[in-house]
Amino acid sequence: MRKEDCFQLGHISRLHGYKGELIAVFDTDQPQRYQNLESVFVDNRGELVPFFIEEIASNSKGHFILKLEEVDPEMANGLIGAELFLPLEFLPKLTGKQFYYHEVIGFNVFDKEHGNIGVCQEIIDSSAQPLFKVFDFNLELLIPAVDDFIESIDREKKEIHLHCPPGLIDLYREEG
């Protein structure tokens, strides 16, 4: 199983107590989906290592307390910051305007006024709001990936339909 075939479920954030238990943070809106998690891949220098989970419980913050099999307190310390992975197939399917960032890479992007404005190259998520990075030949457009701008996502045709505010696309085009 390669990393490309998996999604990142979350990461180990810190120790819980002194008996080798760990606090894990899962990147999900639906933590209850993973309350019966039985095993997980832990990233060890790029290699996904499978671990059985002996105990899992959620805390009041929606984080999880994990006891991984055969992980003693000393080893637990070395796992802080480690990323957790599961096979991609476990990702719940999203519909409508909801999407996973990796899901829309390569989709054609259309604007209501301008038609096809390019291909979605990546989602940049370093700023306050995520951005579609749309590339069209030599022109790169950054468009906020916000609900108000998204009209629809067509997974069959691999298309993102946007309704950008007037002037946004012209701004990039004039610069280019």
Partner 1 sequence: MRPQTPFRFKQFNVAHHQCAHKVGTDGVLLGAWTNASQPKQILDVGCGSGLIALMLAQRFPNAKITGIELDTPSAQQAQDNAQQSPFASQIEIKQGDFLKTAFAEYIDLIVSNPPFYKGNTSSGSTPRDRARHEEFLPAPLFIEKALSLLSPQGQIALILPTTEAKHWIQIAQSNGLYLLRKTSVLGSPSATAKRWLLQMGLQKQALQENALTLRNTQNQRSEAYTELTKEFYV
Nearest approach, Cβ of 172 to partner 1 (angstroms)? 22
Nearest approach, Cβ of 162 to partner 1 (angstroms)? 14
**CA 120 distance to own-chain centroid:** 16
Strand partners of residue 103: none
Asked if residues 136 and 85 have their Cβ atoms less than 8 Å apart, the reply is no
What Å distances lie between residue 4 and 13, 47, 85, 98, 124, CA to CA? 23, 11, 10, 22, 19
Task: Between 41 and 107, name the residue whose CB sits nearer to partner 1.
Answer: 41
Q: Which two tokens stand for residue 175?
A: 């610069």
Nearest approach, Cβ of 176 to partner 1 (angstroms)? 27
Nearest approach, Cβ of 69 to partner 1 (angstroms)? 4
Task: Between 8 and 139, name the residue whose CB sits nearer to partner 1.
Answer: 8
For the chain, state the CA radius of gyration: 20
Task: Between 98 and 116, name the residue whose CB sits nearer to partner 1.
Answer: 98
Query: Nearest to residue 22, comparing CAs of 70, 58, 64, 51?
Result: 64
Give CA–CA dist 114/126, Å, rounded: 27
Residues that bind partner 1 (CB under 8 A): 1-2, 4-5, 7-8, 11, 27-30, 32-34, 36-41, 44, 47-55, 57, 69-71, 75, 81, 83, 86-94, 97-102, 123, 125, 130, 145, 147
Task: Between 99 and 135, name the residue whose CB sits nearer to partner 1.
Answer: 99
